[in-house]
Structure 1
Amino acid sequence: MKKTILALTIPALFATSASAVTVYSDEGAKVDIYGRIQYEAGEMKYKSGSNEANNFGGEGEARLGVNVEYALNNDIDLIGKLEWQVVAEGDDATGSDSLDTRYAWAGYRFQDTTELTFGRSQDPIAQVLYLSDIFNIFGGRAGYGDTFELNDKVDDQVRVSYAANGLDLRGAYAFSDGYKLEKAGNGSELNNQWSLSAGYVFPVGVGLYAAYEQQDVRGKFDSIDAWFAGASYTVDGFFFSGLYTQREQGDVDTKGFELTGTYNVDAWTLLAQYSYEETDNNVRDFDSIDAWTLGVQYDLTAKAKLYAEYEINDDDLNRDDRYGMGIQYNF
């Protein structure tokens, strides 16, 4: 019963481990291992400093993760997560960028509803971002943003979350230290940040969400404030979601939205999304994002899939269209 409740109430922290394999279980201690192997090909990225898409090419990636937990008593568990990603080829396959630490945190779980963790963990705003970040290659661009691009994972973060009976509350504070690598751009460093999010899913399949984040930038730039609001609806094989975001930094502000729809029948899933963001930099207004993303996915098995996606761009930055296809296996 305990693990069944957990699967329903706190899926976000273990989202990539649905097919995890238990490799050790004894006297309240448990270790799960999970991973992913995939290969993708197409014109998927832009050339450095350009809005022109790269020539056709491929990229292989692999992930490996470990979930650990130890029951201190009936109400409190010690928990932890480590996850790495390796890029096998492409622009990121040289130097230290070939191995990326996605998660590295440890903490406590209380009564299967509340978690307190420390380390590199998921940003609370991911609760809203993941309404539209559901494609395999593209998608989710307005959620993450173009002018002020945000990340769904944060270093040095103290995070607390509560989830039960359709309610999901999250809050976090990330502090600065001498080893922080995240940058806010143009030589300014991210000093610290805090964020809050809340969501509620009604029994009829309707979900409502809201989030806020403030990033304190150390340097010549002002802090970044970001607001999010979203909604979702699930019925039969259909999923629909909408997301609105607004961000400010000094005299620059952006407003954007994202509309997503998917339909699943048997092993097939069709995906469509429209992403838009307008940027006002106190000199001019322009469309920093204006894109349609279309995709199709076929599940070979419960753990393996084929997919193809196409992104159509019509922004004021004159970005090329992009496309890609891939195969993915999860274990």
Structure 2
Amino acid sequence: MKKTILAVAIPALFAASAQAANVYDADGVSADVYGRMQFDIRDDNTNTDAVGSARMGFKAQSEIATGVSGFAKGEWQIAAEDADSSKFTARHLYVGFDFEDSGKVIFGQTDTAFYTAVAPTDIFNSFGYGAYTLVEDGRQEGQIIYSGEFGGFILDASYQFRNPDFQVGVGNPEDTSYVDLGAELDSAYAATLGYNFDFGLGLYGGYHVEKFKDGDKKNMALSASYSWEALYLGAAYVNAKTDDAKLDGYDLVVSYDINAVSLYAGYAYQKASGDATLVDGGTMTFDDLGDWVKQSTLGVSYKFNSNMKVWGEYLVDNGKGVDTEGAAPALTDADNQWRIAVQYNF
């Protein structure tokens, strides 16, 4: 989650940020290391398994001139030895300049500016994010990003260069898998405007254009967040269009904190229509999908201290799934899922 924007709105129990350890701080130069260890028990209504994972990160900052600093960040996801996924995956890799009150400029791999517009409903540890499938593409490489906050106003903008092996993230950003769309991205640009009121309300609007050889994909999002004492509410509407296809979705979340316990829930919906090329040149008729995302999620977490927490989440999935393993995508029946996890941050 983008805490610089949603620090007031998002309850601290949802934050997966590490407790960074400072390893150097002298003469205007600082360096921190951080990470986490996690163990999940997962059930997809077919199999129950357990898997461990880790995350390691490094960030540094140094003063260049009065009011100007340079910074860098690298963060990697590390899978357990017997996991089927990639063992070592980059999440964030970038360098940049911080101009204090004038904002930051970032170069590298991280979230696009469009993410800021959907972040108000990104509160789940394991599930969530169903309404954003094929709309918000996850962390992308080859970007130049500007991020600024002026009073209560938020301004984020990003440009992405050509990517011949373009992939999109599918699922919760904390547990994202990436799908190759079989398409070459020529370029992309995004922007989000927002305003955070001093009584707990935040309003955001985002737009993202992706240019491919065979046409453009245009995405938009409108969202709101509201926090009052231990209560948090978030809502978002998203839309994506190509020449032949359209996606419409909305996402609703609520959370309530009781001391160290946090209770949270959400509902995600998305409707598809038209045709679209998805995987390896295969075409899926979105009209066959219709209301293909209908997900309700319930969760509870308990925070032992600032480092360690546990949670359980249950996903009721009344929608449809897409099997992307073959030469062309195919429909599958969606199943209910649950997950229990323990996580230690350092």
Q: Fold match, TM over 0.5? A: yes
Alignment of 1:197 with 2:192, yes or no, is yes
Pair 209,101 (structure 1): closer, same or farther in 2 beyond 3 Å? same
Correspondences of 1:198-237 after superposition (within 5 Å)? 198-218=193-213, 221-237=214-230
Secondary structure at the residue paired with 1:135? coil
Who is 1:38 aligned against?
Answer: 38
Structure 1 counterpart of 2:113, which letter? P
Who is 1:156 aligned against?
Answer: 142
**Distance (Å, rounded) in 2 between the aligned partners of 1:249 and 1:43:** 35
How much does 1:225 deviate? 0.7
Q: Please, which of 292, 300, 313 is the counterpart of residue 317 of structure 2? A: 313
Q: Please, which of 33, 47, 50 is the counterpart of residue 55 of structure 1? A: 47
**Distance (Å, rounded) in 1 between the aligned partners of 2:231 and 2:6:** 23
Q: Please, which of 108, 113, 129 is the counterpart of residue 119 of structure 1? A: 108
How much does 1:79 deviate? 0.9
**Distance (Å, rounded) in 2 between the aligned partners of 1:59 and 1:316:** 25
Who is 1:253 aligned against?
Answer: 246
Structure 1, gaps ≥5 residues long: 1-6, 45-52
Pair 206,10 (structure 1): closer, same or farther in 2 beyond 3 Å? closer
Correspondences of 1:135-150 after superposition (within 5 Å)? 135-142=124-131, 144-145=132-133, 148-150=134-136
Pair 152,186 (structure 1): closer, same or farther in 2 beyond 3 Å? closer
Secondary structure at the residue paired with 2:292? strand
**Distance (Å, rounded) in 1 between the aligned partners of 2:232 and 2:136:** 25
Structure 1 counterpart of 2:315, which letter? E
Pair 186,35 (structure 1): closer, same or farther in 2 beyond 3 Å? closer
Who is 1:71 aligned against?
Answer: 63
Pair 196,92 (structure 1): closer, same or farther in 2 beyond 3 Å? farther
**Distance (Å, rounded) in 2 between the aligned partners of 1:43 and 1:132:** 24
**Distance (Å, rounded) in 2 between the aligned partners of 1:173 and 1:111:** 22
How much does 1:36 deviate? 1.1
Who is 2:118 aligned against?
Answer: 129
How much does 1:113 deviate? 4.3
Contact 2:167 2:180 in 1 (8 A): no
How much does 1:29 deviate? 0.5
Contact 2:135 2:240 in 1 (8 A): no
- Alignment RMSD (CA, Å): 2.1
Who is 2:22 aligned against?
Answer: 22
Who is 1:47 aligned against?
Answer: none
Who is 1:294 aligned against?
Answer: 298
Alignment of 1:277 with 2:262, yes or no, is no
**Distance (Å, rounded) in 1 between the aligned partners of 2:106 and 2:155:** 14
**Distance (Å, rounded) in 2 between the aligned partners of 1:252 and 1:37:** 41
Contact 1:182 1:190 in 2 (8 A): no
Who is 2:158 aligned against?
Answer: 172
Secondary structure at the residue paired with 1:137? coil
Pair 298,310 (structure 1): closer, same or farther in 2 beyond 3 Å? same
How much does 1:149 deviate? 4.9
Q: Which moved more, 1:313-322 or 1:266-275?
A: 313-322
Structure 2, gaps ≥5 residues long: 8-14, 169-178, 276-284, 322-332
Q: Please, which of 84, 89, 99 is the counterpart of residue 100 of structure 1? A: 89
Who is 1:49 aligned against?
Answer: none
Pair 99,194 (structure 1): closer, same or farther in 2 beyond 3 Å? same
How much does 1:128 deviate? 2.2
Q: Please, which of 178, 182, 189 is the counterpart of residue 167 of structure 2? A: 182
Who is 2:11 aligned against?
Answer: none
Give the percent of matched residue pairs that are identical in Structure 1 and Structure 2: 27
How much does 1:129 deviate? 2.3
Contact 2:310 2:341 in 1 (8 A): yes
Deviation string for 1:65-102 (max 9, x for gaps)? 11110011221000111111101156534xxx211011
How much does 1:26 deviate? 1.1
Secondary structure at the residue paired with 2:291? strand
